């Protein structure tokens, strides 16, 4: 029995079922950062004016979490799976599946899903993977055009639907398809679009269809400005995964604005709560459904977007905006509140990274590390130490008094 299975076995399910103890996981996506000369060796958390987070950190247990494992840079899917109490090295959910489920597309057995980005290409090189972050309505019109022009290849139906901004979902539906083909997205600007290749036996047809779709889509989009290309990643099928309620007895609700995170939450059995885009809207949605769930996952995206754009000031503003509204959650009196990120997105790197993420854990049972603030450096000194993200949910349950004693 591994440690997660042990935690499942020790859950006081009758007490969980009473529903009077609320657990809240607040994820500021990509909040972790590193000191770098470009920002005078200060991180956004150090520069942000966060009286509420800093005060809470002084009265909480703090530490840092490793999303997957030492030195491993996670995608958003594995990073969130860890936060939800799954070992992301064992449980795998493809990015494509998360995207299409999150925007409400119906995924059937045997389908292969992909997340697609509109992009800008120059001389066969991707110069902007997000095509300047177009408005959703602009991307939706391009998706409609692609659906009309490239809706079928051979015996494979291709179904597309706009997501948010530059993103859209693609489902390949037909016989003999397999997920796991490599991405056509180069993941960095300044690189050519990749060709899909069969990584395993039986993927040859899938790779062929993907490459032909990619080729035809580029023909349709040619000449557009700034959208004149598209790339895809996360080719995958629907996984079998045990729901959080089955594992821990918790009724779980997800509050997120971006489809991918809603999709992932849905795949692990969370109810999807409707919300507006602002942090205040998300916190209010949590309060409006306070009696409906035992565990709330609240996802805040702007911190990650700022990190990916390399915008230190914008990331500071996103952190401060979250801090300003934090009393809304505190006044509701959750038994346990955890504040962290799914991964670090250092502004100096403009990418996800492997660096440990600051964590604050507050409850009547947490003790107090008297941290000087909610920063990377302060969290380095905390009693929680540095540990893998998949142990956070068992820690939250323990801090709620919902795990039984092990042994005599």
Q: How far is it, in rounded angstroms, from Cα 295 to Cα 290?
A: 9
∠ Cα 6 77 389 (to 5°): 40
Instruction: Map residue 365 onto helix, strand or coil.
Output: coil
For residue 19, what are the contacts with CB-CB under 8 A and spacing of at least 6?
251, 291, 294
Domain ranges of the chain: 3-93+240-399, 98-236
Pairing of strands 112-122, 229-236: antiparallel
Instruction: Map residue 325 onto helix, strand or coil.
Output: helix
Mean pLDDT per 10-residue section of the chain, whose length is 408 residues: 92 94 98 95 97 98 98 93 96 87 88 96 93 94 97 97 94 95 94 93 96 97 95 90 94 93 91 95 98 98 96 98 98 98 97 97 97 97 97 98 93
Q: How far is it, in rounded angstroms, from Cα 22 to Cα 335?
A: 5
Q: How far is it, in rounded angstroms, from Cα 132 to Cα 134?
A: 6
Q: Which tokens sit at 146? A: 């692609």
Please give the full DSSP string across 226-262, using - where no structure is assigned: S--EEEEEEEE-PPP---HHHHH---EEEE-SSHHHH
Please give the full DSSP string across 127-189, using - where no structure is assigned: EETTTT---HHHHHHHHHHHHHHSSEETTEEEEEEE-STTEEEEEEESTT--S-PPPS--SST
Go through the chain and tell me how many residues it has.
408
Q: Which phi and psi angles does 299 have, rounded to 5°?
A: -110, 125
pLDDT of 183 reads 95
Q: How far is it, in rounded angstroms, from Cα 322 to Cα 281?
A: 11
Residue with tokens 């809304």: 328
Q: Which tokens sit at 306? A: 């700022």
Q: How far is it, in rounded angstroms, from Cα 158 to Cα 94?
A: 18
Q: How far is it, in rounded angstroms, from Cα 105 to Cα 186?
A: 25
Q: Which phi and psi angles does 344 have, rounded to 5°?
A: -95, 145
For residue 46, what are the contacts with CB-CB under 8 A and spacing of at least 6?
373, 375, 376, 377
pLDDT of 220 reads 97
Q: Which tokens sit at 295? A: 């565990």
Class of the domain covering 3-93+240-399: alpha beta
374: buried, middle or exposed (CB in 10 Å: 19+, 13-18, 0-12)? buried
């Amino acid at each position: 029995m591994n440690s997660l299975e042990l935690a499942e076995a020790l859950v006081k399910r009758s007490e969980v079922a009473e529903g009077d103890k609320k657990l809240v996981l607040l994820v500021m996506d990509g909040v972790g950062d590193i000191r770098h000369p470009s920002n005078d060796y200060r991180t956004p958390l150090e520069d942000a004016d966060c009286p509420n987070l800093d005060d809470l950190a002084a009265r909480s247990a703090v530490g840092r979490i490793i999303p997957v494992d030492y030195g491993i840079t996670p995608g958003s899917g594995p990073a969130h799976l860890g936060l939800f109490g799954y070992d992301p090295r064992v449980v795998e959910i493809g990015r494509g599946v998360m995207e299409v489920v999150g925007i409400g597309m119906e995924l059937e057995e045997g389908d292969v899903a992909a997340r697609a980005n509109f992009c800008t290409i120059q001389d066969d090189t991707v110069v902007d993977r997000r095509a300047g972050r177009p408005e959703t309505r602009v991307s939706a019109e391009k998706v409609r055009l692609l659906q009309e022009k490239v809706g079928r290849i051979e015996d494979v139906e291709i179904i597309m639907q706009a997501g948010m901004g530059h993103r859209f979902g693609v489902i390949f539906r037909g016989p003999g398809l397999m997920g796991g083909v490599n991405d056509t997205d180069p993941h960095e600007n300044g690189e050519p679009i990749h060709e899909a290749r069969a990584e395993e036996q039986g993927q040859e047809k899938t790779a062929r269809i993907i490459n032909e779709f990619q080729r035809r889509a580029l023909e349709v989009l040619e000449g557009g400005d700034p959208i004149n290309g598209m790339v895809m990643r996360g080719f995958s099928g629907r996984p079998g995964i045990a729901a959080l309620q089955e594992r821990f007895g918790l009724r779980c609700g997800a509050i997120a604005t971006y489809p991918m995170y809603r999709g992932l939450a849905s795949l692990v059995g969370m109810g999807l709560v409707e919300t507006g885009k602002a942090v205040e809207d998300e916190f209010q949605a949590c309060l409006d459904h306070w009696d409906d769930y035992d565990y709330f996952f609240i996802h805040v995206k702007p911190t990650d977007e700022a990190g990916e754009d390399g915008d230190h000031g914008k990331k500071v503003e996103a952190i401060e905006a979250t801090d300003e509204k934090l009393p809304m959650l505190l006044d509701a009196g959750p038994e346990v509140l955890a504040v962290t990120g799914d991964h670090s997105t250092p502004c100096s790197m403009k990418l996800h990274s492997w660096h440990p993420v600051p964590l604050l854990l507050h409850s009547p049972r947490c003790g107090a590390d008297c941290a000087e603030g909610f920063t990377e450096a302060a969290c380095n000194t905390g009693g929680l130490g540095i540990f893998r993200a998949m142990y956070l949910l068992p820690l939250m349950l323990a801090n709620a008094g919902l795990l039984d004693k092990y042994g005599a």
